[in-house]
Amino acid sequence: MTVGFIGLGNMGLPMARRLLDAGHPLTVFDTRAEVLERAAGLGATPAASPTEVADRAETVLTSLPSLQAAAEVAAAVAGGSRITHYVDLSTVGAQQAARNHSLLAAAGIAALDCPVSGGVRGAQNGTLALMVSGPRDAFDTLRALLERLGRPIFIGEQPGAAQTMKLANNLLAATTLAATAEAVVLGVKAGLDPNVMIEVFNAGSGATHASRDKFPRAVLPRTFDFGFATGLMVKDLRLCLQEAADLGLDLQVSEAVGQAWETALADQGADSDFTTIIRPIEDAAGVIVDGRHDERNGRS
């Protein structure tokens, strides 16, 4: 099976690398020349456009940052001469996914929407959760390929169903990161040690992915380099809240979480790492959550 990959960012490049390492010759495209060069250095063949990728590859995977990019790329690959299957690993919401499915089906291309969870480390290690919706036979055909990236879970045949699943997942991820940031700022303001707080959460009922992974790796050491942009998290939350509104739901916690992330976006900017959500909370409280060892006061 010839494979193409479009969108070689934080997630796309490590996923492309895993496919190359598994022995799939890979044709790639990105709008940024520097990442195309990096992919070429790993053994991929750069193409000049998404359509050229779809002229060379039967299966084309994409990992893109916006609904607009996903729509443009889907329209471009629909004109490719070789493509038979399309897998969108981006988070674009159910409506955009359904539009892409229709456009591609009209061109005789089987499309799977396949948003992922597990972050950059999951992309590097092949431990992503892959939520898949679309034609079941296309899923069966591509299952072994997707297993190189992680654990594919079939959500249903309805286009966009996997997107709804992914948005529900990210609502939880956004909520626990925002809530953990508030809880730790509260404790530090009251004089608690943030390292001890995270240790206690992880030994008790406050444990979440935020306390187990995001705080130890990117907040307590003040590196803020987890690998997911604040702008992308806000994209996902807006899509999620829109789906809730379309379903006639009034979700009070989710609305409040959405507001907290809009504040983080305004304060830290779209390109900031999403772990910086703690910074405006710290500023308002007048504290800094610093878990690095400090020789002066003996903290660790």
User: Helix, strand, coil % (nearest 5) of the chain?
Assistant: 55, 15, 30
d(CA 119, CA 129) in angstroms, rounded, equals 10
Burial of 45 (0-12, 13-18, 19+ CB in 10 A): middle
Residues 6+ apart with CB under 8 A from 264: 230, 234, 272, 274, 276, 277, 279, 280
Residue 156: in which H helix or E strand, if any? strand 150-156
The least distance separating ligand NAD from the CB of residue 19, rounded to whole angstroms, comes to: 15
Binders of ligand NAD in range 218-247 (CB under 6 A): 227-228, 232, 236
91 touches ligand NAD by CB under 6 A:
yes
User: Does 71 contact ligand NAD by CB under 6 A?
Assistant: no
Q: Which is nearer to ligand NAD, 15 or 289 (CB)?
A: 15
| Contact between 185 and 289 (Cβ < 8 Å) | yes
For the annotated catalytic residues, the residue numbers are 166
Q: How many residues bind ligand NAD (CB under 6 A)?
A: 28
Interface residue with ligand NAD, options 59, 63, 164, 268 (CB under 6 A): 63
User: Residue 179 or 232: which CB sits closer to ligand NAD?
Assistant: 232
Using the rule CB under 6 A, is 116 a contact of ligand NAD?
A: yes
Determine, following the binding rule CB under 6 A, whether residue 86 of this chain makes contact with ligand NAD. Answer: no
Q: Pick between residue 27 and residue 91 the one whose CB is nearest to ligand NAD.
A: 91
Annotate 76-103 with DSSP letters as a single string: HHTT-SS--EEEE-S---HHHHHHHHHH
Q: What are phi and psi of 158, to 5 degrees?
A: -65, 120
77 touches ligand NAD (CB under 6 A): no
Binding of ligand NAD by 120 (CB under 6 A)? yes
Q: Does 90 bind ligand NAD (CB under 6 A)?
A: yes
Tokens of 99: 């539009």
Q: Which is nearer to ligand NAD, 65 or 134 (CB)?
A: 65
Least distance in angstroms from the C-beta of 82 to ligand NAD: 18
- Dist CA 27 CA 143 (whole Å): 20
Among residues 159 and 187, whose Cβ is nearest to ligand NAD? 159
Residue 222 C-alpha from the chain's centroid: 21
Shortest reach from residue 74's CB to ligand NAD, in Å = 10
Q: Report the residue from 3, 4, 5, 8 that binds ligand NAD according to the rule CB under 6 A.
A: 8
**How far apart (Å, rounded) are the C-alpha atoms in residues 92 and 58?**
23
Q: Which two tokens stand for residue 14?
A: 């490590």
List of residues contacting ligand NAD (CB under 6 A): 6-12, 29-32, 35, 63-65, 69, 72-73, 90-91, 116-117, 119-120, 227-228, 232, 236
